Amino acid sequence: MKKFLFLSTLLFGVLFFSACKDEEETKDPGTLEVNFDNIAVINNVQQQLSLVTPGSTDYAYTNALGQKFNINLLRYYISAIELDGPNGEHYHDHMEATASGSKGYYLVDESIPASQLILLEDIPAGEYNKITFTVGVDSSGVVNGASGGSLDPATCHMFWNWNSGYIAVKYEGQSDVSNGGVSGAETVTGDNPHGMAYHIGGWKDIPGGVFVYNNKRLSLTFDTVVKVESKEAPELHMVFDVIKMFGSHHNIDFTGNHNVHKPADGVEVAHNLEHAFAYDHIHQ
């Protein structure tokens, strides 16, 4: 009997402690809310963007060349998001592109606040200090044919028919130095005397090919770690600076080609995207 009690106690103890140990090690997966805040940094101060009515000559922003401009429309795709942590944590967002819908392709539109908030779910619990994402839609969203949801070619207003594929970043607006003459734009017509359209696309990432690839895969590191688990509701704030889009690697001259509708014409703006997107802060 004593022996039985002893064994029972031992068995109970082993079960009890192993249960505790499990509980400590496996926290439940959590979420991360990723915000894309579109801003303009003016005199080192971040300002939230404000959109204007098409044709407006009210210019709130100035590019690196001192040319004034405003914004009617700003829209871009963020896709294939991954998170990494200092201890080997890794998460990649689920991707899907079918007629019924698409997952993992987010269309961020300055005029639609809800579109600027991306909720990542089912992230393995842990600490993360790096986000990686594609600006644009790569071949995964194109080669299998027409898809729904954010990729729906009838509703996304980001699809090029003639060179089938998705525009990565679409800007439309006015500059006082632009002489207009824009074609094929959503908010700017040819008779808008100061209109500008920069439609940045080109998704054919074909090795050895001649195609211009303007999607950008960016990795941005945080100045701290974000803790993810079921009991937390952290927020990650990313920013997209329109001033840097038009002036970082290259200073975009609005007196030059301001009617950009093909990959080769968008290379410099696409290159600037590397600086336009930045990590800003985390709310734990």
Partner 1 sequence: MGKRIFGDPMLSRDNSVACNNCHVKAVAFADPQHALSLGVDERQGIRNAPGIANMAFMKEFMWDGGVYHLDFAPPNAIENPLEMDEKMAKVVWKLNRNSTYPAQFRAAFPEMGDTITSPFVLLALSQYQTMLVSATSKYDYYKLGKGELSANEMEGLQLFKQKCAVCHSGELFTNQEYRNNGLDTAFADEGRARITESAADLCKLKVPSLRNVELTDPYMHDARFNTLEEVLDHYAAGVKQSATLATELHQGDFIGIPLTASEKKLIVDFLKTLTDYEFIQDERF
Is the backbone of residue 129 left (phi > 0), alpha (psi -120 to 50) or beta? alpha
- Which residues inside 80-99 make contact with partner 1, applying CB under 8 A? 98-99
Query: Is 112 an interacting residue with respect to partner 1 (CB under 8 A)?
Result: no
Residue 49 or 212: the one with the smaller Cβ distance to partner 1 is 212
Of 29, 124, 148, 181, the residue at the interface with partner 1 (CB under 8 A) is: 148
Query: Of 127, 197, 120, 189, nearest to 160 (Cα)?
Result: 197
Query: Is 155 an interacting residue with respect to partner 1 (CB under 8 A)?
Result: yes
Q: What percent helix, strand, coil does the chain show, rounded to 5?
A: 20, 40, 40
Only one of the segments 66-74, 80-88, 144-152, 185-193 lies at the binding site for partner 1 (rule: CB under 8 A); that segment is: 144-152
Residue 66 or 145: the one with the smaller Cβ distance to partner 1 is 145
CB atoms within 10 A of CB 229: 17
- Which residues inside 250-279 make contact with partner 1, applying CB under 8 A? 262-264
Task: Considering only CA atoms, give the Rg of the chain.
Answer: 24
Q: Site for partner 1 (CB under 8 A): how many residues?
A: 26
- Which residues inside 156-175 make contact with partner 1, applying CB under 8 A? 159, 161-165
Minimum CB distance to partner 1, residue 140 (Å) = 13
User: How is residue 141 written in tokens?
Assistant: 């969203």
Residue 165 or 173: the one with the smaller Cβ distance to partner 1 is 165
Q: How far apart are CA 251 and CA 266, in angstroms?
A: 13
Minimum CB distance to partner 1, residue 34 (Å) = 26
Query: Is 142 an interacting residue with respect to partner 1 (CB under 8 A)?
Result: yes
- Reduced to 3 states (helix: H, G, I; strand: E, B; else coil), residue 146 is coil
Query: Which positions from 185 to 224 touch partner 1 by CB under 8 A, shown as an x/- string?
Result: -------------------------xxx------------
Query: Of 118, 47, 113, 49, nearest to 77 (Cα)?
Result: 118
Q: How far apart are CA 52 and CA 121, in angstroms?
A: 35
Minimum CB distance to partner 1, residue 76 (Å) = 20
Q: How far apart are CA 204 and CA 14, in angstroms?
A: 58
Is the backbone of residue 44 left (phi > 0), alpha (psi -120 to 50) or beta? left
Of 87, 143, 190, 230, the residue at the interface with partner 1 (CB under 8 A) is: 143
The residues that touch partner 1, with contacts defined as CB under 8 A, are 98-100, 142-148, 152-155, 159, 161-165, 210-212, 262-264
